[in-house]
Amino acid sequence: MKKISRKEFLKTSSLVAAVAAFNPPNLFGKLSIVTDSIDEWMLNRLVKANDQSAERFLQSISAPQRWQYYRNLSEAFSVFTAAFSHPKSVYYESNDVLKASDTIIDQLLGLQYPNGTLDSGGNRKSPPDTAFLLEALYPSALILRKNETKETASVKAKLDKFLLAAGEGIRTGGVHTPNHRWEISSVLAKLYHLYGDKKYVTRIDEWLAEGIYQNSDGNYPERSRNYAVVENEAFMVIGEILNRPEFFDIVSKNLTSTYYYMEPDGELVSLDSRRQDQFRPILSWKTYLPYRYMAIHENSDFFASIAREIESFDGFDRNILSRSLPHFMGSEILQKEMPKGQTLPTTFTKHFKDSDLVRIKRGNITVSIFGGNDLPLTVASGRSCNPTFFTFRKGSAILEYARLSTSFFNTGYVRSEGLKKEGNTYTLHEKKEAYYYHPMPEKKRNKKGDYKLSPSLDGRFWSKMDFESRPKTTLELESKIIIEEVDNSFRMNIEVNGAENVEVTLDLCFKDGGTFEDVLQGQNEKDFFLEGGMAKYIVGGDTIEVGPGKYEHERIRGLDGEVYSTHFGSIKGEGQHLYITGIVPFKHSITIK
């Protein structure tokens, strides 16, 4: 899609009348909106992008549904509904689009169980996954209610049938995760808005009575940027439809924090997440609609500037413009012009104390320091277990992570027991123990040798040994990392003491796209060692320097530890790896700049 500027668009646009025809009334009580003008420039882009999506969906409408994940169907339905109803769309009142909408709603009805729910992946008869389908179907219902053409009557009736049945499954059903509670509550609020039945509000209040957890950092229980989008959108809906303004304060707190997680390329730091995105950061375009909505609702220059920055990121057209017209047509607020904005901070240090995460920005340099894993280590959804303790970006040159690992009884990566900040110095610390077990005391012996199947006291393995009843010999390993900011560079002092001759490995993983200088090639193409002096990682005109090095061993396999290797797994990151290695007692300092 060819991009034009707002200034160019305003010279030629005549969209205002068309948009006004689909400007829904404010049904949700008094709002703190200051701006009144329609954002014609954005809506013009949305209509064009929606037409392209409609064309793509029309081409695939007859393709078989090969997997049990149906959000593509609800999204296609919403795209078709917007295209059919918007006068500026090339598909306005198109019979092909209307037939496609009818086909999709028939498919959804066919997939719906008698209790109103649908499957999703491995989730059978899933209330929360059914609720996620209504994220796209709700604005479709609002749009169709304003479309009075006789041709849409059948589709409207089928959509109502689906929504009412789904509403029962969602209202009476359960959830899996924290964010599902609020997703379900927001969808029930939407159904209340559509059908006026107070039973939806009764169920909402049952969920809300549990209380909404938000820590001092502004994070929700999962500490996930991905699921925060779900929660923020849910709280905005509840706040608006049920006229509960206190929910907007919750959203504002989270969105304010989220800005400081944002990298210059739009990636959101996820080191502290307790969900799958802790190893797979999301891009900030997912947060666009909440930022835009709150910028207008709260008349916030700060949120408006963040939203406009997101508009400039790669993927915005493909991932937001292509699917958002229905949401704009269904929302008076989203259609408004945002406030003028402000200059966003380019220098800051933010310590998120409850998450043990520090974010630093100095112009084109950004840094993350993290020590907030959930301990003891458990590799599971809902637990923070990312061993990355440091990241560094300098323009297009990116150190994706620094991780420290030892060969101490194959326990793998060092995971700090918190983060201590003193001025511009940050301290991470871990103490590990491993044990040798002695014969069972006489009073606890079993002649048949049938002892309790139990985990070892260090959690590394299980056996029928009743470990907790045995005397033991303890070995210890203590690791300390002190990171100090010095003139836009970062000095890292690492000490590992305790059990002697343990191998220590510092793994520095750089994002692909650059080249190393002054390093030693390892056995694998993307593995390198730094023996001494400073290494350079060069990407275009940007260079990261690291050193001095240390090269005392070549043990770089199995750095993850037994918790992963037992199942033949690894969390080694993609990219080019630079290793600094030594032996306990280990003491070494490097500078990253």
Which distant-in-sequence residues (6+ apart) come within 8 Å of 252 by Cβ?
294, 298, 300
Q: Does 532 fall in a domain?
A: yes
pLDDT at residue 239 greater than cutoff 50: yes
167-196 average pLDDT score: 97
pLDDT at residue 550 greater than cutoff 90: yes
User: Under a CB-based contact definition with an 8 Å cutoff, are residues 83 and 137 in contact?
Assistant: no
User: How high is the pLDDT of residue 65?
Assistant: 81
User: How high is the pLDDT of residue 78?
Assistant: 98
Q: Distance of CA 74 to CAs 103, 105, 159, 326, 421, Å? A: 12, 8, 11, 11, 47
Taking the model in full, what pTM does it have?
0.91
Q: Who has greater pLDDT, 66 or 542?
A: 542
413-433 average pLDDT score: 97
| pLDDT tens string 13-23 | 444 444 444 44
Q: Does 588 fall in a domain?
A: yes
Q: Does 153 fall in a domain?
A: no
User: How high is the pLDDT of residue 18?
Assistant: 46
Q: Which of 142, 277, 297, 298 is nearest to 219 (CA)?
A: 277
Q: Which of 279, 177, 186 is nearest to 222 (CA)?
A: 177
30: tokens are 């008094």
Q: Distance of CA 480 to CAs 360, 405, 533, 542, Å? A: 21, 12, 23, 30
pLDDT at residue 50 greater than cutoff 60: yes
Q: Who has greater pLDDT, 250 or 148?
A: 250
Q: Who has greater pLDDT, 8 or 255?
A: 255
| pLDDT tens string 472-491 | 999 999 999 999 999 989 99
> What ranges make up the beta strands (E) of 115-195?
118-120, 123-126
Q: Who has greater pLDDT, 512 or 5?
A: 512
User: How do 472-486 and 489-498 pair as beta strands?
Assistant: antiparallel
209-227 average pLDDT score: 96
Model confidence at 6, in pLDDT bands (50, 70, 90)? low
pLDDT at residue 58 greater than cutoff 60: yes
Q: Return d(Cα 131, Cα 170) in angstroms, integer.
A: 7
64: tokens are 């078989």
Q: How do the residues of the chain divide into helix, strand and coil, expressed in percent and rounded to 5?
A: 35, 25, 40
Give, for 428, the enclosing helix (H) or strand (E).
Answer: strand 425-437
pLDDT at residue 55 greater than cutoff 50: yes
Q: Does 535 fall in a domain?
A: yes
40-60 helix and 71-85 helix, angle to the nearest 10 degrees: 120
Q: Does 395 fall in a domain?
A: yes
Q: Which of 131, 378, 383, 356 is nearest to 276 (CA)?
A: 383
Q: Return d(Cα 389, Cα 526) in angstroms, integer.
A: 21
Q: Which of 387, 482, 332, 255 is nearest to 28 (CA)?
A: 332
Q: Distance of CA 65 to CAs 39, 113, 218, 240, Å? A: 37, 17, 39, 36
354-359 average pLDDT score: 97
pLDDT at residue 24 greater than cutoff 90: no
| pLDDT tens string 289-324 | 999 999 999 999 999 999 999 999 989 999 999 999
SS3 string of 103-122?
HHHHHHHHHCCCCCCEEECC
pLDDT at residue 394 greater than cutoff 70: yes
pLDDT at residue 211 greater than cutoff 60: yes
Quote the longest CA-to-CA distance of the chain: 92
Q: Does 445 fall in a domain?
A: yes
Which distant-in-sequence residues (6+ apart) come within 8 Å of 376 by Cβ?
459
Model confidence at 152, in pLDDT bands (50, 70, 90)? very high
Residues in the chain: 593
User: Under a CB-based contact definition with an 8 Å cutoff, are residues 19 and 43 in contact?
Assistant: yes
pLDDT at residue 29 greater than cutoff 50: no
DSSP state of 393: E
Q: Who has greater pLDDT, 43 or 280?
A: 43
Q: Distance of CA 333 to CAs 20, 38, 105, 144, 252, Å? A: 13, 9, 28, 19, 16
61-68 average pLDDT score: 83
DSSP state of 455: E
User: How high is the pLDDT of residue 331?
Assistant: 95
Model confidence at 2, in pLDDT bands (50, 70, 90)? very low
pLDDT at residue 270 greater than cutoff 80: yes
Ordered DSSP codes for 458-526: TSS-EEET-GGGS-EEEEEEEEEEEEEEETTEEEEEEEEEESTT-EEEEEEEEPSS-EEES-EE-SSTT
CB atoms near residue 593 (< 10 Å): 17
Total number of domains in the chain: 1
Q: Does 548 fall in a domain?
A: yes
Place of tokens 């209330």: 127
User: How high is the pLDDT of residue 221?
Assistant: 95
DSSP state of 457: T
Q: Does 456 fall in a domain?
A: yes
Element counts in the chain: helices (H) and strands (E): 16, 22
Range of the domain at 427: 387-592
Could you give the percent of the chain with pLDDT greater than 70? 94
Query: If you average pLDDT over every residue of the chain, what do you get?
Result: 93
User: How high is the pLDDT of residue 26?
Assistant: 42
